[in-house]
Amino acid sequence: MTKGFRAVSADEVLAGFVPGRRARIKARAAEIIGEELALSDLRKSKRVTQEEVAERQGGRQVYVSRLERRADMKVSTLREYVKAIGGQLQLVVTFPEGRAVKLKEIGKRTARATSTRRKTST
């Protein structure tokens, strides 16, 4: 039989490190948390213009401009935008106890959803 394992908190793990290493870990964590960008900043960091995004999405620059200013949008729209600037959208749910879960298939069109959409539009 296997032994049961107990959950270990991040504080317990960090307590086992020397102070210098703890400081580096905390500094890197703060850096990662600080990596929040607006859509336009993200696009600019990849050196892609609104015109290029529009061309890749088959739309117009004005629509990309509007999208970048929106506070709310469909996940599928965000996924297409991120793809147009060369990235891949991943959604992660974090819980207070520190557990993180990556969601899959969110915002992707399934074959069923596509066929249903075609039937209702004809």
Q: pLDDT tens, 66-79? A: 999 998 999 999 99
* CA-closest candidate to residue 88, choices 70, 106, 63: 106
- Establish if 27 belongs to a structural domain: no
Could you give the CA distance from residue 9 to residue 23 in angstroms, rounded to a whole number? Answer: 17
* Residue 64 counted as domain residue: yes
Q: Which residues contact 46 (CB under 8 A, 6 or more apart)?
A: 85, 86, 87
Domain assignment present for 11: no
Say whether pTM exceeds 0.75: no
Instruction: Flag whether 106 is in a domain.
Output: yes
In the chain, the number of structural domains is 1
Question: What is the residue range of 87's domain?
Answer: 38-121
- The H or E element spanning position 119 is helix 111-121
* Residue range 68-110, pLDDT digits in tens: 999 899 999 999 999 999 999 999 898 988 888 999 877 666 5
On whether residue 95 sits in a domain, the answer given is yes
CB hemisphere CA count around 39 (13 angstroms): 23
Is the residue at 25 inside a domain?
no
The CATH number of the domain holding residue 43 is 1.10.260
